[in-house]
């Protein structure tokens, strides 16, 4: 038997599936595929899956269900997201490429092997560190001679650039001029998530709009968790935001994240603290902390009269919210449903794709995980040394990203493209193509009714 692994490209982006096939296998033969990669610190992650060769002697993991392995079901990203290390740890965020080895075994004997390098940033993307006027950010510019739509990226409660840079690098790889912005926890910025001046984020948006590489007339904003909350808040006061994407975002302003100092505002504007709600601690069983009910208990009735609610009815751009139905940090699905209803009541939608909600029942606070990277554990150790239960499952988070990420790119192109040419070679993730449905539910614009079932 002369088996051979065939790959389409040796340097795919991480958000592209491992497009490989094993050919020359005896029909009906059981073949084991093993994948491994190393993170930026040299830690190795492994996955495996066993398949049965088809009548033509081919094993195609993108289109075949494994008989057994580290994941279940047909999944073109399965060998990537199901990789784990021993002991298990989160795959670090960075801009480093991900060297990957895939080997094929028959009866514990290696019959073929291939090496590839999965890229977090496409060749030719320019990276510029921004340290001017108090702004701490990183700008990613696509390899193109024409202007590109601008997108600002805000990470979560880490406040720095790690998550923002990871997302911005991929956005630039797909044709956007992306600015990852730190808003606390970095030099010259507040050390904690407390009293962050909204003017700082507004100035970052203006800075991006003034770049000659950025096409107008507006920009998009992508935020995750507290960064999603900030993205909605920015869009409610800055009229040149044309598109907002929030992963596990809240339409309510919550208190700041401080150690030892309770009840401080997270956000401020014009020298004054903005109103905020305070989570109400609830009894929890022993084990990792589940905070969802803390936020649920802090929601007065009627909710829409609370001053801490972001005035999202003032947002002039389109809104896409991505939530996990099993989010144990806060009820992101409920938040998103509330936001979409509020937008509907204000009758702001101008088209069927203006205000959208994608929700995934098996995903937690890690909903929308970047496809192609090892899925993070669902329990997190925060800076305060406490274990937090993020909810969902690794497969649920990973597959939500597979479905949501192409839609996010399509959404941004649709509302920011302004006639811009979609970069060659990346059209499979842009509005011209329909993303493959994997799991989750799409909530229709404004009505809040279920529009399509994906699982």
Q: Mind listing the pLDDT tens digit for each residue in 400-418?
A: 999 999 999 999 999 998 6
In terms of Cβ atoms closer than 10 Å to its own Cβ (0-12, 13-18, 19+), residue 424 is: exposed
104 and 133 both lie in a single domain: no
Range of the domain at 310: 126-453
Nearest of 94, 88, 33, 92 to residue 61 by alpha carbon: 33
Do residues 375 and 340 touch, judged by C-beta distance below 8 A?
no
Mean pLDDT of the chain: 88
Same domain, 109 and 131: no
Whether 227 and 146 map to the same domain: the answer is yes
Rg of the chain over Cα atoms, rounded to whole angstroms, equals 22
For the cut 60, the answer to whether the pLDDT of residue 273 exceeds it is yes
Instruction: Look at residues 64, 84, 118 and tell me which one is the last residue of a structural domain.
Output: 118
Give yes or no: residues 268 and 347 share one domain: yes
pLDDT band at 286 (very low <50, low <70, confident <90, very high): confident
229: nearest Cα among 127, 149, 155: 155
Are 300 and 380 contained in the same domain?
yes
Residue 85: CB atoms within 10 A of its CB come to 16
Residue 183 shares a structural domain with residue 153: yes
| Global confidence as pTM | 0.91
Note the pLDDT of residue 433.
Answer: 32
Residues 357 and 410 in one domain: yes
Domain check: are 83 and 169 in the same one? no
* 263 and 174 in a common domain: yes
Do 175 and 110 sit in the same domain of this protein? no
For residues 46 and 159, membership in a common domain is answered with no
Question: What are 36's two structure tokens?
Answer: 């491994």
Summarize the confidence of residues 345-352 as an average pLDDT.
69
pLDDT band, very low/low/confident/very high, at 444 (cuts 50, 70, 90):
very low
Give the CATH number for residue 192: 3.40.50.1820
97-150 residue pLDDT tens:
999 999 999 998 999 999 999 999 999 999 999 998 899 999 999 998 899 999
Residue 427: its pLDDT value, please? Answer: 39
| pLDDT given at position 345 | 85
* 66 shares its domain with 210: no
Here the CATH number for the domain that contains residue 15 is 2.60.40.2240
How many separate domains does the chain show? 2
Q: Which of 56, 87, 118 is the last residue of a domain?
A: 118
pLDDT of residue 424: 46
Helix 198-210 vs helix 226-237: angle between axes, to the nearest 10 degrees? 70
Find which of 246-250, 423-427, 447-451 is predicted with most confidence, using mean pLDDT.
246-250
Decide if pLDDT at 443 tops 50.
no
Last residue of a domain, one of 118, 150, 175: 118
């Amino acid at each position: 038997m002369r088996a051979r692994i065939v790959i389409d490209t040796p340097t795919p982006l991480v958000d592209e599936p491992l497009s490989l096939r094993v050919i020359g296998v005896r029909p009906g033969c059981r073949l084991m595929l093993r994948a491994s990669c190393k993170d930026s610190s040299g830690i190795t992650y492994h996955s495996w899956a066993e398949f049965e060769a088809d009548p033509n002697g081919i094993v195609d993991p993108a289109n075949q269900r494994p008989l057994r392995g580290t994941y279940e079901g047909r999944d073109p990203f399965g060998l990537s997201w199901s990789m784990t290390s021993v002991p298990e740890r989160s795959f670090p965020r960075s801009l480093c490429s991900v060297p990957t080895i895939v080997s094929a075994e028959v009866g514990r004997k290696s019959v073929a092997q291939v090496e590839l390098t999965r890229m977090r940033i496409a060749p030719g993307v320019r990276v510029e560190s921004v340290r001017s006027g108090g702004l701490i950010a990183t700008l990613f510019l696509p390899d193109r001679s024409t202007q590109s739509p601008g997108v600002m990226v805000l990470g979560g409660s880490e406040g720095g650039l790690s998550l923002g840079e990871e997302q911005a690098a991929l956005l630039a790889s797909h044709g956007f001029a992306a600015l990852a912005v730190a808003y606390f926890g970095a030099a010259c910025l507040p050390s904690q998530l407390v009293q962050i001046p909204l003017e700082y984020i507004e100035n970052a948006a203006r800075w991006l709009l003034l770049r000659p590489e950025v096409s107008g007339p507006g920009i998009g904003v992508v935020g995750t968790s507290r960064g999603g909350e900030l993205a909605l808040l920015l869009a409610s006061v800055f009229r040149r935001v044309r598109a907002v994407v929030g992963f596990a975002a809240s339409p309510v302003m919550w208190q700041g994240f401080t150690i030892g100092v309770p009840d401080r505002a997270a956000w401020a504007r014009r020298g004054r603290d903005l109103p905020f709600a305070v989570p109400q601690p609830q009894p929890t069983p022993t084990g990792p902390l589940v905070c969802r009910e803390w936020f649920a208990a802090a929601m007065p009735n009627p909710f829409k009269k609370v001053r801490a609610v972001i005035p999202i009815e003032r947002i002039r751009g389109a809104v896409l919210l991505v939530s996990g139905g099993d989010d144990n940090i806060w009820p992101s699905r409920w938040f998103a449903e509330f936001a979409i209803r509020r937008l509907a009541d204000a009758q702001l939608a101008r088209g069927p794709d203006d205000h959208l909600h994608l929700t995934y029942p098996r995903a937690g606070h890690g909903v929308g995980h970047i496809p192609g990277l090892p899925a993070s554990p669902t329990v997190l150790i925060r800076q305060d040394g406490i274990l937090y239960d993020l909810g969902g499952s690794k497969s649920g988070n990973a597959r939500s990203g597979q479905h949501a990420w192409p839609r996010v790119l399509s959404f941004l192109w649709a509302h920011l493209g302004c006639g811009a040419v979609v970069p060659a070679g990346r059209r499979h993730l842009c509005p011209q193509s329909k993303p493959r449905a994997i799991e989750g539910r799409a909530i229709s614009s404004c009505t809040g009714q279920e529009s399509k079932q994906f699982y």
